[in-house]
Amino acid sequence: MSTIRFEAIKQTFERTPVHVETPDHRSDQFGANVFNAVVMRQVMSKEAYSSVMDAIEGGGKINRKLADEIATYMKIWAISKGATHYTHWFQPLTGTTAEKHDAFFEPISTTDAVDRFGGAQLVQQEPDASSFPNGGIRNTFEARGYTAWDPTSPAFIHGTTLCIPTVFVSYTGEALDNKAPLLRSLLAIDQAATEVARYFDKSVTKVNATLGWEQEYFLIDKALTLSRPDLLLAGRTLLGHSPAKGQQLDDHYFGSIPDRVLNYMIELENECVRLGIPVKTRHNEVAPNQFELAPIYEEANLAVDHNSLLMDLMDKMADKHNFKVLFHEKPFAGINGSGKHNNWSLATNKGVNLLSPGTTPTKNLQFLTFFINTIKAVHDNEELLRASVASATNDHRLGANEAPPAIVSVFIGSQLNKVLEELEDVSKGKLSPEEKTDLKLNVVGKIPEILLDNTDRNRTSSFAFTGNKFEFRAVGSKANCAKPMMILNAIVAKQLKAFKVEVDALIDKKGLKKDEAIFNVLREYIKASKKIRFEGDGYSAAWEKEAVKRGLSNNKTTPEALKVYLKKSTIDLFEQLDVMSEIEIKARHEIELEEYVHKVQIESRVLGDIARNHVIPTAIRYQNILITNVKGIKDVFGSDFKKLAPEQLDLIEEISEHISEINSKVNMMIDARKYANKLDKAQLKAEAYCERVLPFFEDIRYHCDKLELMVEDNLWPLTKYRELLFTK
Ligand code: ADP
Ligand code: MG
């Protein structure tokens, strides 16, 4: 009997929900472990407080003296909360978070010690950059890198450590993390959107991008997960026959949450609340053992940090509750995978959502301006947006008829489509008084009413307008939101800048009124960006054909999708906006390809190992039982045995056939890997893994899964799908 599997199942059956303390009142706890503006106002001098706020809100510099002062207050506050260590908390390009803890404690003689933490420690640290992905930047320059404090994201206490959010850059200033380019893109969109927003309201001085993510995940018992080498090492199952019952009854979605899971969620949320993460929604998702967590949206930089922090917390909390959380986009074949919808909008310093229609024609023209410019930006940069969500793991989800396809399109609903169609007919140049009135009353004026009853939603679209924000649905559950957000901010920033130039030219050179100029430019944008708008079924084969006709890209694999990074237009875009330099873009391209190769390589090795060392020996063992049985029948019945053991004989033969297929396919896969490993260009290596190694997975899996159905259940070593998915 396979001991690990049955031991794991036994442990799972014996589990009871882990007890959790529920605090009396969550709202009292909100942000209790965050060194936020409220705390700063309480503990800091008036001057120090207002200088920090200036720096945070206006992007001003914090000098050394002020940094020392802030550090002192931070230290006293953190120690009063039980912190013993501090760390620069950053998001290297590994996709996770990184930290190196230093103690406040410092001996000053053999008998005395103090707690030390000054401005220097707050502002900068020097982790070794060569231990993190750097895409060749290290070879070109120095190995050293440094982390630098990001005062726009508040420090927080996690466990007994004061965590200081930082960017991570090489010694020569190249970004080695997700946050640095994100911050630069936020500055770019702030500048571009503020200029445009001022057409409508002169008092606007700042525009923030806002992000509300929705995190999907699977929660599987720890013992069951550890019993599967593929889940342990690759985060997904590489084989396993589908259970008799999957998600076809739709009985999990929004169903009652199992007690063990609920306790996990409660404790997780309590911790989130203390860390200032405004968690709001929790529910079961479509697949068995799949769930979702969503907060209220926040300023994008903070929202990105909060998502990274949350994923880290989820992992740790799962361990305490005897679960493993799976963030992989497709942990189980035949069952829905997980995504992370990124709801995105723009908000002014006056608290106005620029993608929300208002009650006056001016507000609505403002809405249309940002709405149409966003669509145009997506149209012009669809390939780049696709690249922003490309990864080995997300390739399994995009286009799997549960997530949007690899084709980027914008869904806006039939009502707004009608509005855009009418705007296409706006006259060129100056508008007559009648036309102005008509636009005001019948087109622009009707928008809020339209949106109220605009309930159509299209789950198959990658980029959908949902009333007052766009929802980017192709983001993978494992992804760091910084990448898609950085790219979205950048392309919209570029677009808004171009818009401003065009409108101003019509006003200055053609003598048009502001509104007339805006209508004129928007009309052309609507026409020029039509092909990105799609209201139909994004999962259908017809859409794939239609998209080809429209000239939209359909980059199904990561190595293909990432190529756009190296296009001159991409490099120009990022350089002109000061979001990334050519060196940084090329480094990122390289890092992402390397990551792709590593992911597929690991999976391929694990699959080979499971097939050879678990599946084949088990199949042989069962075959031997059958052979012994047939021999026994022959002993008893003589030459009649064939008639009496047809099933056994068939099985013996079929098992041999499957074993031989597995064996030859694994050999071929290893040869393909050897070939790929010899290639030294990252692009070629990634393509070889994609085109030559990956295709064997399905074949090998097919034969292994057939054997799973044949071999006696007691002997099968790998925890089965039904056990992973239906044990609560
Ligand atoms: P659903 O998409 O599940 O129907 P909602 O439309 O209420 O739910 O919102 C989904 C997500 O959108 C939430 O996480 C919410 O915080 C976020 N969201 C709402 N408004 C904005 C906004 N202005 N900017 C960014 N995200 C937003
Ligand atoms: Mg949603």
Residue 138 is predicted with a pLDDT of: 56
Looking at the CA of 306, name the nearest ligand.
1
- Residues 460, 542: one domain? yes
Q: Quick one: how far is CA 640 from the chain centroid?
A: 63
Does residue 574 or residue 103 have the better pLDDT? 574
Q: Say if residue 632's pLDDT is above 60.
A: yes
- Residues 684, 615: one domain? yes
Residue 264 is predicted with a pLDDT of: 95
| pLDDT tens per residue, range 228-249 | 999 999 999 999 998 877 666 6
Residue 652 is predicted with a pLDDT of: 98
- Rounded distance from Cα 95 to ligand 1 centre (Å): 24
- Residues 191, 168: one domain? no
Asked if residue 18 is part of any domain, the answer here is no
- Rounded distance from Cα 463 to ligand 2 centre (Å): 11
User: Exposed, middle or buried, 26 (CB in 10 Å: 0-12/13-18/19+)?
Assistant: middle
Q: Say if residue 358's pLDDT is above 70.
A: yes
Residue 366 is predicted with a pLDDT of: 96
Residue whose CB lies within 8 A of the most ligand 1 atoms, among 292, 297, 374, for a mutation test: 297
Asked if residue 392 is part of any domain, the answer here is yes
| pLDDT tens per residue, range 505-524 | 999 999 999 999 999 999 99
Structural domain count, the chain = 3
**Domain membership of residue 54 as a residue range:** 31-174
- Rounded distance from Cα 212 to ligand 1 centre (Å): 6
| pLDDT tens per residue, range 207-227 | 999 999 999 999 999 999 999
- Residues 538, 610: one domain? no
- Residues 226, 204: one domain? yes
Rounded-to-integer distance, Cα 721 and Cα 728, Å: 13
Domain boundary at 121, 148, 174, which? 174
- Rounded distance from Cα 294 to ligand 1 centre (Å): 9
Q: Report the nearest-CA residue for atom 11 of ligand 1.
A: 212
Residue 250 is predicted with a pLDDT of: 62
Asked if residue 677 is part of any domain, the answer here is yes
Mean pLDDT of the chain: 92
Looking at the CA of 297, name the nearest ligand.
1
Residue 1 is predicted with a pLDDT of: 59
- Residues 245, 168: one domain? no
What atom in ligand 1 is closest to the CA of residue 468?
Answer: 23
Asked if residue 15 is part of any domain, the answer here is no
Does residue 484 or residue 132 have the better pLDDT? 484
- Rounded distance from Cα 273 to ligand 1 centre (Å): 19
Residue whose CB lies within 8 A of the most ligand 1 atoms, among 343, 370, 451, 470, for a mutation test: 343
Does residue 251 or residue 657 have the better pLDDT? 657
Number of other CB atoms surrounding residue 614 within 10 Å: 18
Q: Say if residue 433's pLDDT is above 70.
A: yes
- Residues 350, 231: one domain? yes
CA distances from 477 to 140, 261, 297, 473, 474 (A): 33, 19, 17, 10, 9
| pLDDT tens per residue, range 289-308 | 999 999 999 999 999 999 99
What atom in ligand 1 is closest to the CA of residue 297?
Answer: 16
Residue whose CB lies within 8 A of the most ligand 1 atoms, among 207, 469, 489, for a mutation test: 469
Does residue 1 or residue 65 have the better pLDDT? 65
Domain boundary at 122, 145, 174, which? 174
- Residues 130, 216: one domain? no
Number of other CB atoms surrounding residue 296 within 10 Å: 11
Q: Say if residue 454's pLDDT is above 80.
A: no
The candidate with the shortest Cα–Cα distance to 92, out of 174, 19, 172, is 174
Q: Say if residue 628's pLDDT is above 60.
A: yes
Which stretch of 252-261, 405-414, 582-591, 640-649 has the lowest confidence by average pLDDT?
A: 252-261
Domain boundary at 549, 578, 607, which? 578
Residue 457 is predicted with a pLDDT of: 72
- The interface predicted TM-score of the complex, written ipTM, equals 0.95
Q: CA angle, corner 299, sides to 309 and 168, nearest 5?
A: 50
Q: Report the nearest-CA residue for atom 3 of ligand 1.
A: 214
Hey, what are 605's tokens? 């090795």
Q: Across 26-30, 37-41, 95-99, 648-652, which has the greatest mean pLDDT? A: 648-652
Residue 87 is predicted with a pLDDT of: 94
Asked if residue 390 is part of any domain, the answer here is yes
Asked if residue 398 is part of any domain, the answer here is yes
- Residues 305, 197: one domain? yes
- How many H-runs (helices) and E-runs (strands) does the chain carry? 29, 17
Looking at the CA of 472, name the nearest ligand.
2
Residue 6 is predicted with a pLDDT of: 95
- Rounded distance from Cα 456 to ligand 2 centre (Å): 13
| pLDDT tens per residue, range 515-548 | 999 999 999 999 999 999 999 999 999 999 999 9
Average pLDDT over residues 476-498: 98
Q: Say if residue 684's pLDDT is above 80.
A: yes
Contacts 24+ apart (CB under 8 A), 711-717: 711/618, 711/619, 711/622, 711/655, 712/622, 712/625, 714/1, 714/2, 715/1, 715/2, 715/618, 715/621, 715/622, 716/2, 716/5, 716/618, 717/2, 717/4, 717/5, 717/614, 717/618
Question: What's the CATH code of the domain at 403?
Answer: 3.30.590.10
Question: What's the CATH code of the domain at 689?
Answer: 1.20.120.1560
Looking at the CA of 459, name the nearest ligand.
2
Asked if residue 602 is part of any domain, the answer here is yes
Q: Where are the alpha helices (DSSP H) in 16-86?
A: 26-29, 37-43, 46-58, 64-80
Looking at the CA of 212, name the nearest ligand.
1
- Rounded distance from Cα 626 to ligand 2 centre (Å): 53
Using CB distances shorter than 6 Å, the residues near ligand 1 are 210-212, 214, 294, 296-297, 343-345, 353, 466, 468-469
- Residues 253, 398: one domain? yes
Q: Say if residue 252's pLDDT is above 70.
A: no
- Residues 288, 150: one domain? no
Q: Say if residue 618's pLDDT is above 70.
A: yes
48 pLDDT band, cuts 50/70/90, is confident
- Residues 224, 303: one domain? yes
| pLDDT tens per residue, range 134-157 | 776 655 555 678 899 998 999 999
Residue 74 is predicted with a pLDDT of: 94
Asked if residue 3 is part of any domain, the answer here is no
